[in-house]
């Protein structure tokens, strides 16, 4: 008996049909499209905090092309056949006295296409990024998650990340020009 795939409903591919690997130049357009979705999502959370400089896809493609040549940068692509369905970007970062942060790996971006979410791909991307950053000498990996993205925070905590800092933002100009909040205290 032959198994038939229904044309009436989508079939979820097993997770192992998605390959997590280092991104190459041929992947950059698709990776940049996913990065642009990530930026737009953050911008929707707080337009004053998160920049949105169009055309995002073009800027990200140029940025990631440069990062591919950097020995301390890691750009991962999650590929299902010829389609890129997720990516992660991280770097080995030097000590930062302003942030009181020793040299470490930083997971700057991770995004999984809606069509393949909840299948374990984000965990695979994070695990691979941690492995690669550790191989570059990172003693730990840090990341930031948008305050309003509580699902991402819970996900990262489930992988062993802990909350260590809270970023707070305040605009320098208040409507009407009266900035009594800045003078009080």
Q: How confident is the model at residue 14 (pLDDT cuts 50, 70, 90)?
A: low
At 66-93, the pLDDT tens digits run 999 999 999 999 999 989 999 999 999 9
182 domain-assigned? no
Mean local confidence (pLDDT), 31-39: 94
Sheet holding 19-22, edge to edge: 19-22, 73-80, 83-93, 104-112, 141-143
Token pair of 111 as six digits: 């995004």
Q: What is the CATH number of the domain that holds 66?
A: 3.40.630.30
CA–CA distances in Å: residue 116 to residues 1, 11, 50, 146, 156: 29, 11, 26, 22, 18
Alpha helices in the chain (DSSP H): 28-45, 56-67, 121-135, 150-158, 180-183
176 domain-assigned? no
Closest-CA residue to 164 (of 140, 182, 181, 185): 140
Mean local confidence (pLDDT), 152-175: 91
Give the position of tokens 């038939």: 4
pLDDT at residue 176 in the model: 59
Q: Is the dihedral of CA 171, 174, 179, 180 positive or negative?
A: negative
CA–CA distances in Å: residue 43 to residues 47, 92, 174: 5, 26, 20
The answer, as to whether pTM is greater than 0.85, is no
146 domain-assigned? yes
32 domain-assigned? yes
User: Count of alpha carbons within 13 Å of 171, Cβ hemisphere only?
Assistant: 11
Q: 15-38 b/e with 16+ CB inside 10 Å = b?
A: eeebebeebeeebbebbbbbbbeb
183 domain-assigned? no
Task: Report the domain count for the chain.
Answer: 1
pLDDT at residue 84 in the model: 95
6 domain-assigned? no
% of the chain exceeding 90 in pLDDT = 66
Whether residue 32 has pLDDT greater than 80? yes
175 domain-assigned? no
Domain limits at 70?
A: 15-163
Identify the burial level of 49 via C-beta atoms within 10 angstroms of its C-beta, where 0-12 means exposed, 13-18 middle and 19 or more buried: middle
**What CA–CA distance (Å, rounded) separates 80 from 20?**
9
53 domain-assigned? yes
Give the position of tokens 């819970």: 154
């Amino acid at each position: 008996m032959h198994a038939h795939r229904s044309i009436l409903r989508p079939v979820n591919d097993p997770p192992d049909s998605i390959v997590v690997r280092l991104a190459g130049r041929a992947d950059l357009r698709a990776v940049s499209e996913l990065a642009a979705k990530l930026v737009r999502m953050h911008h929707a959370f707080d337009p004053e905090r998160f920049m949105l400089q169009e055309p995002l896809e073009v800027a990200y493609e140029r940025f990631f092309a440069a990062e591919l040549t950097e020995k301390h940068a890691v750009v991962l692509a999650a590929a299902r056949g010829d389609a890129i369905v997720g990516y992660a970007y991280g770097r080995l970062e030097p000590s930062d006295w302003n942030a009181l942060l020793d040299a470490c790996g930083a997971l700057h971006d991770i995004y999984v296409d809606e069509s393949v979410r909840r299948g374990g791909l984000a965990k695979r991307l994070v695990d691979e990024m941690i492995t690669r950053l550790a191989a570059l000498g990172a003693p730990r990996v840090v990341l930031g998650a948008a305050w309003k993205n509580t699902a991402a925070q819970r996900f990262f905590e489930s992988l062993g990340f802990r909350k260590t800092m809270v970023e707070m933002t305040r605009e320098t100009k208040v409507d009407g020009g009266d900035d009594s909040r800045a003078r009080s205290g």
